[in-house]
Structure 1
Amino acid sequence: MTDPNDLDRLKALDSRIKEVKAKAPEVNHMKKDYSQAQHAWRMVTELVAGLLIGFVVGYGLDYAFGTMPVFLVIFIFLGFAAGVKTVIGSAQELQRKLLDTSSSKDGDN
């Protein structure tokens, strides 16, 4: 059996929890953090894609010409350079968006 005293204590606890939740400011940091993680993963993916494309092209040329490590090494470096260039472009795009957002917020005040 449930003790009536326990039910009263549970109701009191429930009301205290509701009061504290009502007073606490709502924090919505998860969306912002996920947004930043999305940008980071995008940059990592762009860099890895550049490396993989360079590897595939270099390996294909080496296989076709029979010069095993020459084109592979060259195109891996070219793929890395292309990936870094793309990551820098993405970072600049993100910075422009953040600056536009912050300037529009400052202009509203």
Structure 2
Amino acid sequence: MTDPDHRARLRDLEAKIEALKAPKAAKSHTEEHYSQAQLAWRMVIELVAGLLIGFGIGYGLDSLFGTLPIFLVLFTLLGLAAGINVMIRSAKEIQQTQEAEAAKDNTAAGGRDERAKDGD
């Protein structure tokens, strides 16, 4: 026979195991939507900022030297290239972050499976 303290500990252990086996609550669609929209706006703002900075530098140089809008066109194109470069870097950073989170989730799920197998 087992004593009551042992039975209570067993019940607590079983409750913890069931809690770990329960599926995680999925993120709601609206939270995912807003986080993706936030990332998209970040990229748009980076591109537009590059264009505006290039435009401003080109316009300033053209008015300073009194030239045709050669600097305006040149620096606007350079600003566009810089904005695209920053967008690509941001996309790579976001991708690495998402891959790291997915790997962490897979590792955590694998650890739970191992503990469940050991208990059998």
TM-score category of the 2 structures, normalised to the smaller one? 0.7 to 0.9
1:53 counterpart letter in structure 2: I
Q: Partner of 1:47 in structure 2? A: 47
CA contact (8 A) 1:59 1:68 kept: no
Does the 8 Å CA contact 1:54/1:80 hold for their aligned counterparts?
yes
Q: How does 1:71-86 map to 2 (within 5 A)?
A: 71-86=71-86
TM-score (structure 1 length as normaliser)? 0.74
Residue 98 (structure 1) aligns with: 98
**C-alpha separation between the residues in 1 aligned to 2:35 and 2:48?**
20
The aligned residue for residue 38 of structure 2 is 38
Superposition map of 1:4-83 within 5 A: 28-83=28-83
Once residues 70 and 104 of structure 2 are traced to their aligned partners in structure 1, the CA distance between those partners, rounded to angstroms, is: 51
1: distance between equivalents of 2:54 and 2:86? 14
* Structure 1 residue runs of 4 or more that deviate by more than 3 Å after TM superposition: none
CA displacement at 1:27 relative to structure 2: 6.7
Contact 1:62 1:69 in 2 (8 A): yes
Q: 1:62 to 1:38 in 2, by over 3 A?
A: same
Counterpart code for 1:39 = L
2:26 and 2:96 map into 1 onto residues whose CA distance is: 29
Task: Quote the sequence identity (%).
Answer: 52
What are the ranges of 5 or more consecutive residues in structure 1 without an aligned counterpart? 1-24
Q: Give 1:80 shift.
A: 0.3
- Measure how far apart 1:108 and its partner are: 1.1
After superposition, the Cα gap between the structure-2 partners of 1:53 and 1:26, relative to the gap in structure 1 and judged at 3 Å, is closer
**Residue deviations 1:59-97 (CA, integer Å, cap 9, x gap):** 000000011211001000100011001000100010000
Count of matched residue positions in the alignment of Structure 1 and Structure 2 = 85
